[in-house]
Amino acid sequence: MPIRAQLAELGLAGTGAVHRNLPPAELIARSLARAEGIVAAEATGLVCQGDINIPCKPALFDRLLDKARGYLHDRDLYVFDGFAGAERTYRLPIRVVADAAWHALFANTLFVRPTHRRGARPAVDVGRWRCIRRDGAKARGDVRR
């Protein structure tokens, strides 16, 4: 199934460009060109998420997912298809969809990249785990503690 049809099944049937499984060098170049980050000579410190990860009820999740779909509708999307876990017996296929090249680069370094045979597309079953990341939209008003 073509990537656009797969994204449409997730509710992401927009008109923006879809960039799938770009190599790290290209993701770095795009991140810099889009002013999403800078290249540092050395690590500048730890990144802390704080108390951002909190439990939520299914209704809140659905509302936030709809908000993300609306935000991503006509934006350019970066898609990473790969795996969580290196052991083939236990690894899980994962798809990351984001509107920022840096997030696809992060996924590219965090997860296992599929191997390719010359000229072949990677065989990744993306039906199990999906991560949809909307870089510019915030959920602050939706989440109550």
What is the overall mean pLDDT for the chain? 78
* pLDDT, average across residues 91-103: 89
Confidence of residue 71 (pLDDT cuts 50, 70, 90): confident
Considering the chain, what percentage of its residues have pLDDT values greater than 90?
18
Report the predicted TM-score, pTM, of the whole model to 2 decimal places.
0.76
Helix or strand run (H / E) with residue 94? strand 92-98
Structure tokens at 121: 């597309």
Structure tokens at 9: 């099944």
Sorted by where each begins, the domain ranges of the chain are 3-40+54-133
Confidence of residue 118 (pLDDT cuts 50, 70, 90): very low
User: Alpha helices, DSSP H only, in 1-145?
Assistant: 3-9, 24-33, 58-72, 101-110
pLDDT at 120 (0 to 100): 41
Question: Which class is domain 3-40+54-133?
Answer: alpha beta
